[in-house]
């Protein structure tokens, strides 16, 4: 076993961390988890306020999921799904069809959110060429400002977060871009009451101008996560669905962040009775245990890929670990826990408690906006509350908030100057209080007010 000091040194020198400026990286090494808590190598205890990056659902070391993974290990750890099946993947496909909105009947497995969306983009493109009456001129995607669908190049093309995506512009394909459907920093003549109509007018204009070229709209239903937990006006998703139908384009719903109970319903699309043509799942699908992702498709899409081998209608795409039995066993167990623990029906009091904390935090002098959808929340810090003028990003206020929250035993990770609160759905009210109080303490410290 390496020593603590070796681990620190190697973590700093050898381990190139995701989304991390390594020049200033200070190792934070987690060695153990239990329920909503994590322990670092020095024995410090933290509440997991970001669900280990938005994926933990029922807490760490859940006995039901642990046992399912162990049970699968006693059978086989991995077999391919290229031309073969395994009981865990097969059953998971069946269960996912049951729990997702009606009409999504086929499941393509991959291993990360990015790959799930990548798969959806390619299926949508190929579908337009192979459908009963082919429309090969439909090659373009509509994507939103501030959208985030992962970091591989296909999904970077549809991504719209400038600080992540701008650099790679020369490498990616063109998309039809419409503004982020948020409700903060709206133009002067737009209010929250008419924000939905405002955003729809942009989407409608793109369809009216380019409708015959549009293969699909790709969106994060209800909330743009990485944009800074940007919540959308009620009715926007439903109206976007109607526009895609009217102009004969597909709707790709990226539920990687919002799926599996995060919004208070099993899937965000349920809030507006929407069945997308393609739905992408990741993050919480295994309860936050193992990398599994899935792209669900309607029968109409699936059938466009059927034919004699020589017709080359096959979807020539795959990921080595797609349908991995260990991951699928974890995902099946997580779905069982949703039922056994009534995870969704236990959420309303937690969502209400989170709202109460946010209402208080919203009063702080440098909090420009608080946004919440179910068990996901974002608190945006600004230099000037009246004008919504941001802080200089180099001051790293968000990071400073989270560093201070750690002193209070809570682990958070910001999105720029947005403090994200996204605890496991299994969190208790008392633990939720601690997470929110630590965030508030952090905000007071990092925005220069006296703590406590
Ligand atoms: C995290 C995320 C992704 C990417 O998932 P990875 O597993 O990190 O590749 C895609 N879409 C949304 C909405 C996400 O939040």
Q: What is the pLDDT of residue 165?
A: 86
Residues 375, 268: contact at Cβ < 8 Å? no
Render pLDDT for 82-105 as a digit per residue (tens, 0 to 9): 999 999 999 999 999 999 999 999
Mean pLDDT of 359-376: 98
Measured CA to CA, the distance from residue 93 to residue 292 in angstroms comes to 12
> Of the residues 19, 113, 262, which should be mutated to test ligand 1's pocket, given the most ligand atoms within 8 Å of the CB?
113
Q: Is the CB of 159 under 6 A from ligand 1?
A: no
pLDDT at 394 over 70: yes
Domain ranges of the chain: 4-57+344-446, 67-340
Query: CA distances (Å), 44 to each of 37, 59, 408, in order?
Result: 10, 18, 11
Burial 93-112 (b: 16+ CB within 10 A, else e): bebbeeebbeebbbbbbbbb
Q: Is the CB of 398 under 6 A from ligand 1?
A: no
What's the N-to-C CA distance of the chain in angstroms?
41
Residues 217, 276: contact at Cβ < 8 Å? no
Q: What is the pLDDT of residue 448?
A: 84
> Of the residues 256, 259, 262, 322, which should be mutated to test ligand 1's pocket, given the most ligand atoms within 8 Å of the CB?
256
Question: Of all atoms in ligand 1, which is nearest to the CA of residue 255?
Answer: 13
Q: Is the CB of 256 under 6 A from ligand 1?
A: yes
Asked, colleague to colleague, whether 4-57+344-446 and 67-340 share their fold, the answer is no
Q: Is the CB of 230 under 6 A from ligand 1?
A: no
Strand ranges inside 139-289, DSSP E: 140-144, 176-178, 214-219, 223-224, 230-231, 250-254, 278-281
Q: What is the pLDDT of residue 451?
A: 46
CATH class of 67-340: alpha beta
Question: Of all atoms in ligand 1, which is nearest to the CA of residue 112?
Answer: 7
Q: What is the pLDDT of residue 242?
A: 98
Render pLDDT for 438-447 as a digit per residue (tens, 0 to 9): 999 999 999 9
Render pLDDT for 46-87 as a digit per residue (tens, 0 to 9): 999 999 999 999 999 999 999 999 999 999 999 999 999 999
Q: Is the CB of 112 under 6 A from ligand 1?
A: yes
- What is the CA(124)–ligand 1 centre distance, in A? 19
Residues 223, 263: contact at Cβ < 8 Å? yes
Question: Of all atoms in ligand 1, which is nearest to the CA of residue 291?
Answer: 7
CATH class of 4-57+344-446: alpha beta
Measured CA to CA, the distance from residue 372 to residue 361 in angstroms comes to 12
């Amino acid at each position: 076993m390496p020593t603590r000091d070796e681990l620190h040194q190697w973590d700093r020198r050898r381990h190139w961390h995701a989304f991390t400026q390594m020049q200033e990286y200070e190792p934070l090494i987690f060695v153990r988890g239990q329920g909503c808590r994590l322990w670092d190598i020095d024995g410090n205890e933290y509440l997991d306020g970001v669900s280990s990056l938005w994926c933990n659902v029922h807490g760490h070391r859940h006995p039901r999921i642990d046992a399912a993974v162990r049970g699968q290990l006693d059978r086989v750890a991995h077999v391919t799904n290229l031309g073969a099946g395994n009981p865990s993947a097969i059953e998971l496909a069946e269960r996912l069809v049951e729990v997702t909105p009606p009409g999504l009947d086929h499941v393509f497995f991959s291993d990360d959110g990015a790959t799930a969306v990548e798969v959806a983009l390619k299926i949508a493109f190929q579908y337009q060429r192979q459908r009963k009456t082919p429309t090969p001129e439909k090659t373009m995607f509509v994507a939103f400002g501030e959208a985030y669908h992962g970091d591989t190049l296909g999904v970077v093309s549809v991504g719209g977060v400038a600080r992540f995506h701008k650099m790679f512009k020369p490498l990616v394909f063109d998309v039809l871009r419409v503004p982020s459907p948020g409700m903060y920093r709206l133009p002067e003549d737009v209010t929250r009451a008419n924000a939905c109509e405002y955003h729809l007018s942009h989407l409608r204009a793109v369809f009216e101008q380019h409708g015959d070229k549009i293969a699909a709209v790709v969106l994060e239903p209800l909330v743009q996560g990485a944009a800074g937990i940007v919540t959308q006006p009620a009715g926007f998703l439903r109206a976007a669905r109607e526009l895609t139908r009217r102009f004969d384009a597909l709707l790709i719903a990226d539920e990687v962040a919002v799926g599996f109970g995060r919004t208070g319903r099993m899937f965000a699309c349920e809030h507006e009775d929407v069945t997308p043509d393609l739905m992408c799942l990741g993050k919480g699908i295994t309860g936050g245990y193992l990398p599994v992702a899935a792209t669900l498709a309607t029968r109409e899409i699936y059938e466009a890929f059927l034919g004699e081998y020589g017709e080359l209608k096959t979807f020539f795409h795959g990921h080595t670990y797609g349908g991995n039995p260990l991951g699928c066993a974890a995902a099946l167990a997580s779905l069982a826990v949703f039922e056994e623990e009534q995870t969704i029906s236990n959420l309303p009091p937690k969502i209400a408690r989170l709202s109460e904390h946010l209402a208080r935090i919203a009063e702080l002098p440098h909090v420009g906006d608080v946004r919440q959808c179910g068990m996901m929340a974002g608190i945006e810090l600004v230099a000037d509350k009246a004008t919504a003028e941001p802080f200089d990003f180099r001051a790293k206020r968000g990071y400073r908030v989270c560093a201070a929250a750690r002193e209070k035993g809570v682990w958070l990770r910001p999105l720029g100057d947005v403090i994200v609160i996204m605890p496991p759905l299994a969190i208790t009210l008392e633990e939720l209080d601690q997470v929110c109080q630590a965030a508030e303490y952090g905000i007071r410290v990092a925005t220069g007010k006296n703590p406590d």
